[in-house]
């Protein structure tokens, strides 16, 4: 049983023309041998793109890519012929499988911020697949957004003072995408960009200090 707190101020940072990324795990030139993954979660990036900026065609293979847009709109296109625009309240899943090339570009009307997670797949070399699915979040509650094998992403939009009980799973990654959590027995207040990593913990309750959006990955396998 353990509770690990990762502060946003300690994340790896990548800056480029028109984009800024905070990495939760080792990525590219940023390497920490003690912070390479959490269960099947191997990447958890918080991206901010300027209008019309983003990532041109680049390849992926054998990874499940889940994208949750916080503000703006993200335009997707890939070598399998899929195109889509992802907005807040929708979840995008790209299963790279046997190999796919894709591009991700912010819409022209303003900055786009999104959180993207990469998961190791249960089956390798599968056919690539793509989807964008609307999600109806229940205010003040954790709502399941996507389920991929034993991995589940839940999101909660909380008003100040709202409390939610986190799932009781072997591994739990809790990310404060916006807002803040009040001080608890586990930690001082958590702010935007901070995260909990729980291993074999009971279902802790957390309370929002201000309007807050939480992203909660649970892994039962």
- Write phi, then psi, for 63 (nearest 5 degrees): -150, 140
DSSP string spanning 25-44? Answer: S-BTTB--TT-S-BTTEEEE
For the cut 90, the answer to whether the pLDDT of residue 212 exceeds it is yes
For the cut 90, the answer to whether the pLDDT of residue 211 exceeds it is yes
- 203 falls within a domain: yes
- From 103, 134, 165, the end of a domain falls on 134
The β-bridge partners of 208 are: 181
pTM for the whole thing? 0.95
pLDDT band (50, 70, 90) for residue 35? very high
Percent of the chain with pLDDT over 70: 100
For the cut 90, the answer to whether the pLDDT of residue 58 exceeds it is yes
Domain of 214, CATH number, reads 2.60.120.10
Same domain, 104 and 213: no
Same domain, 119 and 25: yes
Same domain, 87 and 171: no
Q: Tokens 């911020």 — which residue?
A: 113
Same domain, 161 and 55: no
Structure tokens at 181: 């959590």
pLDDT of the residue at 56: 94
Same domain, 42 and 84: yes
DSSP, collapsed to helix, strand or coil, labels residue 182 as coil
pLDDT band (50, 70, 90) for residue 47? very high
pLDDT digits (tens, 9 = 90+) for 104-157: 999 999 899 999 999 999 899 999 999 999 999 999 999 999 999 999 999 999
Q: Which residues contact 105 (CB under 8 A, 6 or more apart)?
A: 49, 52, 53, 54, 55, 56, 74, 75
Structure tokens at 91: 């979840």
pLDDT of the residue at 186: 82
Mean pLDDT of 73-91: 95
Residue 57 burial class via C-beta count within 10 angstroms: exposed 0-12, middle 13-18, buried 19 and up: exposed
Same domain, 164 and 191: yes
- From 104, 134, 164, the end of a domain falls on 134
DSSP, collapsed to helix, strand or coil, labels residue 9 as helix
pLDDT band (50, 70, 90) for residue 1? confident
pLDDT band (50, 70, 90) for residue 171? very high
Q: Which residues contact 192 (CB under 8 A, 6 or more apart)?
A: 8, 176, 177, 178, 179, 180
Q: How many domains does the chain have?
A: 2
Same domain, 19 and 122: yes
DSSP, collapsed to helix, strand or coil, labels residue 156 as strand
Domain that holds residue 89: 11-134
């Amino acid at each position: 049983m353990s509770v690990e707190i990762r502060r946003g101020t300690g994340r790896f940072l990548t800056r480029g023309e028109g984009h800024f990324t905070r990495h939760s795990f080792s990525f590219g030139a940023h390497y920490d041998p003690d912070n390479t993954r959490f269960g099947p979660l191997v990447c958890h990036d918080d991206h901010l793109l300027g209008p019309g900026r983003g990532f041109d065609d680049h390849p992926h293979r054998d990874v499940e890519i889940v994208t949750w847009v916080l503000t703006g709109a993200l335009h997707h296109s890939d070598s399998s012929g899929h195109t889509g625009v992802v907005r807040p309240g929708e979840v995008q899943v790209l299963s790279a499988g046997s190999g796919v090339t894709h591009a991700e570009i912010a819409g022209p009307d303003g900055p786009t911020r999104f959180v993207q997670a990469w998961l190791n797949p249960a089956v390798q070399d599968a056919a690539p697949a793509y989807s964008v699915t609307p999600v109806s979040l229940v205010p003040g509650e954790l709502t399941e957004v996507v389920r991929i094998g034993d991995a589940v992403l839940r999101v909660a939009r909380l008003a100040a003072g709202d409390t939610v009980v986190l799932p009781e799973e072997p591994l739990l990654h809790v990310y404060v995408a916006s807002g803040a959590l009040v001080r608890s027995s586990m930690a001082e207040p958590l702010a935007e960009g901070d995260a909990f990593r729980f291993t074999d913990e009971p279902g802790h309750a957390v309370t929002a200090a201000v309007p807050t959006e939480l992203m909660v990955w649970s892994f039962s396998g």
